[in-house]
Amino acid sequence: ALSDIAERGRGVGALQGLQHLQLDFSECKALSDIAELGRGVGALQGLQHLQLGFSSCSALSDIAELGRGVGALQGLQHLQLDFSFCKALSDIAELGRGVGALQGLQHLELNFDSCSALSDIAELGRGVGALQRLQHLEVKFGCKALSDSADLGRGVGAVERRQHRAR
């Protein structure tokens, strides 16, 4: 079972000319540490399209470094992250801050379906609300512990108002 992707993360960071990256770690149930992957992704300053799959990585709980890495990608236009069925994932605040830093982002898809430990998405809502150029937004939740989605609603509302004014 794949549980350590640190070497892959360092390898990704060496691919400086990369514009499109798609990695799928789905079903890696023992995978718990993706910090090195987050740092590697953050080094890819030319990246425009990022798609990462962690569906059913049931031991994955800390994605803060991935959030910081994503936030460093100022040229990113398309971001798709799948954390569905990551039952240990409880904190996505750093990811929310990272997403909010992506001023050129046009397409955002996030899947948190059945992330039963996830309860606070306020920072994600604020991050989405900061996206000036967003044209496509898809966020999936199925989180039993989710208590307050008001900030996500306000963030989506801010995107909608900007799109309406641009017409």
**Amino acid present at 5:** I
pLDDT higher than threshold 70 for residue 93: yes
Structure tokens at 95: 């990811």
C-beta separation of 162 from 130 below 8 A: no
Determine the pLDDT at residue 102. Answer: 97
pLDDT higher than threshold 70 for residue 113: yes
- SS3 sequence, the chain? CCCECHHHHHHHHCCCCCCEEEEECCCCCCCCECHHHHHHHHCCCCCCEEEEECCCCCCCCECHHHHHHHHCCCCCCEEEEECCCCCCCCECHHHHHHHHCCCCCCEEEEEECCCCCCCECHHHHHHHHCCCCCCEEEEEECCCCCCECHHHHHHHHHHHHHHHHHC
Provide the 10 A C-beta neighbour count for residue 40.
25
Q: Give the residue, 163 or 102, on which the prediction is more confident.
A: 102
C-beta separation of 83 from 109 below 8 A: no
How do residues 31-90 score in pLDDT, each as one tens digit? Answer: 999 999 999 999 999 999 999 999 999 999 999 999 999 999 999 999 999 999 999 999
How do residues 131-156 score in pLDDT, each as one tens digit? Answer: 999 999 999 987 555 555 555 566 56
The C-alpha atoms of residue 107 and residue 83 are separated, in whole angstroms, by 17
C-beta separation of 86 from 110 below 8 A: no
